[in-house]
C-alpha cells in the first residue's frame, strides 16, 4: 500500500488523505453535489434530504462533517438552520470547477455505468458527480493518480497505489477513462496497458486543486 502522501515523478507530493475522506462517503458526495449546484443559495436540512434522497438524521451527520472541513457554512440565526457552500474555501473552488466540467461528459459516464440515468427526475440520480464516486474505489483510484501525476501505472501498480484489489481496477477504472480524467496508454516499451492522470483535463485540475487545498487546511 502506498501512503496517502506520495511523491510523483516530478518531485511534487499531494496528501490526499482528506480528499479521500471527503469523497469516499456516498452521503457526503450527495450533499456536496447539492451544495455545488446551489452555490450561494442557502438550503435547510429538509431541502438537503429531499434533494439527496437521504434521511434527515444522516443529513445532519454528514453536513456537520462538511462544516468542520470548512466547505459548508451554517447560519445559526435562522430557524430552521440554513446551510450553503463556502465559496471562498479554495477546496470548494476546485470542486466547483470539477463538478461543472463533469456535466460535459454525461454520455461518457452513462456508457460506463449501467445505473446512471441523466434523465432521472430524482436530483441525485442524474448527477455525474455522484455517479463518478458511486464506489469509494473510484475515489481511491483518482487520488492515486493525483498523487502520481507524472506516472504511467500498470493496473497492478494502480491497484497497489490506491489500495484496492487488482480486479477492482479492471471493473471500475473505465469510468475515469471515459470521462477523460485518466488516460489509457499502450506504450511500446511496456508490457500491458498503463494508466496516467490527464493533467490537461479541467476536471482533473479542479480535483487536484481541491486535494491540495484540503491538505493545506489541516497543516
Q: pLDDT for 172-199, tens place per residue?
A: 898 899 889 999 998 777 678 999 999 9
Higher pLDDT, 107 or 206: 206
Summarize pLDDT for 135-154 with one digit per residue, the tens: 899 999 999 999 999 999 99
What are the residues facing 194 on neighbouring strands? 154, 185
C-alpha cell at 70: 470548512
Q: Roughly how many angstroms between the first and final C-alpha of the chain, as a whole number? A: 23
Alpha carbons 39 and 46: distance in angstroms, whole number: 17
H helices of 39-132, in order, are 45-52, 56-68, 90-102, 106-112, 128-132
- Name the average pLDDT for the chain: 86
Q: Is the pLDDT of residue 121 over 60?
A: no
| CA neighbor of 64 nearest in space, from 10, 96, 28 | 28
What is residue 125's predicted lDDT score, i.e. its pLDDT? 65
pLDDT at residue number 219? 47
Check residue 218 and give its pLDDT: 57
What is the grid cell recorded at 140? 481511491
For the cut 60, the answer to whether the pLDDT of residue 5 exceeds it is: no
Task: Tell me the pLDDT tens digit for each residue of 40-91.
Answer: 999 999 999 998 889 999 999 999 999 999 999 998 788 899 999 999 999 9
Higher pLDDT residue, 122 or 217? 217
Picking from 129, 132, 154, 130, the residue whose alpha carbon sits closest to that of residue 144 is 154
More confident residue, 122 or 38: 38
Q: Which residue from 51, 90, 54, 40 is spatially nearest to 70, judged by alpha carbons?
A: 90
Number of residues in the chain: 219
Query: 61 CB contacts (<8 Å, ≥6 apart)?
Result: 27
CA distance 54 to 168: 27
The domain in which residue 163 lies consists of 5-217
For the purposes of burial, counting CB atoms within 10 Å of the CB of 16, is it exposed (0-12), middle (13-18) or buried (19 or more)? buried
Using DSSP, state whether 63 is helix, strand or coil.
helix
Number of domains in the chain: 1
Cis peptide before 168 (omega within 30 of 0): no
Amino acid at each position: 500500500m502506498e501512503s496517502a502522501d506520495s511523491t510523483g515523478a516530478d518531485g511534487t507530493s499531494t496528501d490526499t488523505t482528506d480528499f479521500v475522506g471527503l469523497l469516499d462517503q456516498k452521503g457526503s458526495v450527495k450533499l456536496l453535489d447539492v451544495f455545488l449546484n446551489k452555490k450561494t443559495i442557502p438550503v435547510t436540512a429538509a431541502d438537503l434530504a429531499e434533494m439527496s434522497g437521504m434521511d434527515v438524521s444522516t443529513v445532519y451527520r454528514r453536513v456537520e462533517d462538511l462544516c468542520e472541513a470548512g466547505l459548508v457554512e451554517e447560519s445559526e440565526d435562522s430557524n430552521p438552520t440554513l446551510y450553503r457552500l463556502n465559496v471562498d474555501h479554495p477546496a470548494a473552488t476546485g470542486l466547483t470547477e470539477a463538478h461543472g466540467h463533469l456535466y460535459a461528459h454525461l454520455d461518457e459516464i452513462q456508457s460506463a455505468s449501467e445505473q446512471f440515468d441523466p434523465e432521472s427526475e430524482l436530483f441525485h440520480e442524474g448527477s455525474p458527480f455522484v455517479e463518478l464516486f458511486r464506489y469509494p474505489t473510484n475515489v481511491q483510484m483518482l487520488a492515486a493518480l493525483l498523487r502520481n501525476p507524472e506516472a504511467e501505472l500498470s493496473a497492478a501498480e494502480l491497484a497497489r497505489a490506491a489500495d484496492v484489489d487488482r480486479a477492482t481496477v479492471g471493473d471500475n477504472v473505465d469510468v475515469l477513462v471515459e470521462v477523460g480524467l485518466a488516460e489509457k496508454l499502450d506504450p511500446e516499451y511496456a508490457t500491458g496497458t498503463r494508466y496516467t492522470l490527464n493533467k490537461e483535463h479541467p476536471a482533473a485540475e479542479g480535483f487536484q486543486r481541491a486535494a491540495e487545498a484540503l491538505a493545506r487546511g489541516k497543516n
